Amino acid sequence: MTDYYCSPLGRAKDTASCTLEKVGREAVIYPWLREFEGHVLNPATGKSHICWDFMPDYWTYMDDMYDRDNWAKSKLMSSSANDIHMEWQKVSNGIDDILLKYGYKRKDRYYEFEEHRDDTIVIFCHLGVTMVMMSHLLGISAPALWHGFFLAPTSVTILNSEERIDKKAYFRCQVMGDTSHLSFNGESISNSGYYAESFNEEWQ
């Protein structure tokens, strides 16, 4: 592995510590890798609510929530006391700055580079912010990823750069939310944040 990066939150640091101790390395801590911040007005309850967890009938009818460039400026996201668009830009700029260290510069919706590199960077962070980074890299709205995919705690997601045209790269997700390392070692897989076939009266 080339370099390691980590969220400043304790749970991410704890997860990272096992790997870092084994390989004798330290991780660079970035504040923007903490769980994605921002609360919006929940239309179901009228209360402040985390911006990336809504019931389907409260967001799927809003076309702008599927807009890869403008979801953070949507009516629902604009109800936040925080600036969701600014938080999105902070994460997008953060991952672009990391990639620039390895020679990959953002241009429009892809990346340019002068020479191919085989670096592997490892990031220890959280479900919400991971989806925001993937939104930026893959050109998919973050709400579509937040509500359509699940990442179990300590799962592994892998993105690779495809460089089929000289000096141009685009990212493709190779593995998402893999937990085989847990199964292989007889560890249980947490379903924290996963609500398949569950019913919560709080939302009614």
In the beta sheet, which residues pair with residue 49?
Answer: 40
Q: What is the pLDDT of residues 71-130, one digit of tens each?
A: 998 888 887 767 899 999 999 999 999 999 999 999 999 999 999 999 999 999 999 999
Res. 204: pLDDT tops 50 = no
Specify the pairing of strand 3-6 against strand 121-124. Answer: parallel
User: How crowded is the C-beta side of 83, counted as CA atoms within 13 Å?
Assistant: 6
Cut 0.75: pTM above it? yes
Amino acid found at 153 = P
pLDDT of residue 202: 53
Give, in degrees to the nearest 5, the angle at Cα 166 between 160 and 168. 50
CA distances from 120 to 2, 52, 102, 107 (A): 5, 29, 10, 21
Half-sphere exposure of 66 (CA within 13 A, CB side): 7
As a whole number, mean pLDDT of residues 180-198 equals 84
Q: What is the pLDDT of residue 201?
A: 52
pLDDT band for 198, please (50, 70, 90 cuts).
low
Q: Does the pLDDT value for residue 203 go beyond 60?
A: no
